[in-house]
Amino acid sequence: MNILKHVEAHRIHRNGWLRAAVLGANDGIVSTASLVVGVAAAETSPEEILMVGVAGLVAGAMSMAAGEYVSVSSQADAEHSDLERERQELAANPVHEHEELTEIYIRRGLDAELASRVAARLMAHDAIDAHARDELGISDTTAAHPVHAALASATSFTVGAMLPLAVVLVMPQPAIIWSVSGCSLLFLALLGSIAAHAGGAPVRTAAVRVTFWGALAMALTAGTGFLFGITA
């Protein structure tokens, strides 16, 4: 029997790590650039600006890793709990579970007889997999992976945070605010474009969205730093 080769290039399998990586990189650029711009607006020295930026990088990377790990672990715990409950229900009342699966396939467009046969065949092959996918919405593509999410988020945050810090290293103090702001907006636009391309989404919309929120964050932080610099 010939098996049809799947040639379509779907990108849904990237959702887990792509979300964590984009969130980490975006937060790394925005938070570090905002911190640098805010401190620079308070008329501090380049050494102090760099020190604060590096401290923000370390703290932010650890916070992102811990936050992702805890939140995704909670999702994984909920998934495991649902799967265990489903195993118990399959063992206690397989007839009812077959009826549940049949009803799901009927709602998706199959007639009752075919739906019942499909449910029976899939349950005979792998009952828990069939119920996890079609009743609970859990699959290998959507399953939670805490360690992957934590590593992707922390790594991408570090890379993102290093970009505005690199600008601080090469620019003189009077130009730090505008150079970090401008370069960071370019970095954010590039990040939005890359993320959109990787996920198959419109590039321009993603780039504008991430750049707008980054600019707003830096403007607010710069204003705060300026006020503290005036009153100091």
Q: How far apart are CA 74 and CA 65, in angstroms?
A: 14
Whole-number pLDDT of residue 165:
92
Place of tokens 């399959």: 90
pLDDT at 232: 41
Distance between CA atoms of residues 145 and 174, nearest Å: 45
User: Phi/psi at 93 (nearest 5 deg)?
Assistant: -150, 70
Per-residue confidence (pLDDT) for residue 161, from 0 to 100:
92
What is the model's pTM? 0.68
Continuous H helices in the chain? 15-41, 46-92, 94-107, 112-134, 146-170, 176-199, 203-231
User: Under a CB-based contact definition with an 8 Å cutoff, are residues 161 and 50 in contact?
Assistant: no
pLDDT at 17: 57
What per-residue confidence (pLDDT) applies to 228?
A: 65
pLDDT for residue 141: 60
From first to last of its 232 residues, the chain has per-residue pLDDT tens of 444 444 444 444 445 556 677 778 888 998 898 888 888 887 778 888 889 999 999 999 998 889 888 888 888 888 888 888 888 988 888 899 899 889 999 988 888 899 899 999 988 888 888 888 888 877 766 666 788 888 888 898 999 999 999 999 888 888 888 898 889 889 888 888 887 777 677 788 878 888 888 888 778 877 776 776 544 4
Domain residue spans of the chain: 15-91+147-231
DSSP 4: P
Q: Which pLDDT value is given to residue 162?
A: 93
* Opening angle at CA 42, ends 172 and 219, nearest 5: 90
Answer yes or no: are the C-beta atoms of 56 and 27 closer than 8 Å. Answer: no
Q: Among 45, 57, 4, 8, which residue's Cα sits nearest to residue 165?
A: 57
C-alpha–C-alpha distance, residues 60 and 68, integer Å = 12
Q: Which two tokens stand for residue 14?
A: 């990237």
The answer to whether residues 66 and 149 touch, using CB atoms and an 8 Å cutoff, is no
Quote the CA–CA distance of 107 and 96 in Å, as a whole number. Answer: 17
Structure-token match 């992957």, residue found? 148
Q: How far is CA 102 from CA 87, 122, 182, in A?
A: 17, 11, 57
Residues found in the chain: 232
**pLDDT recorded at residue 13:** 45
pLDDT of residue 77: 86
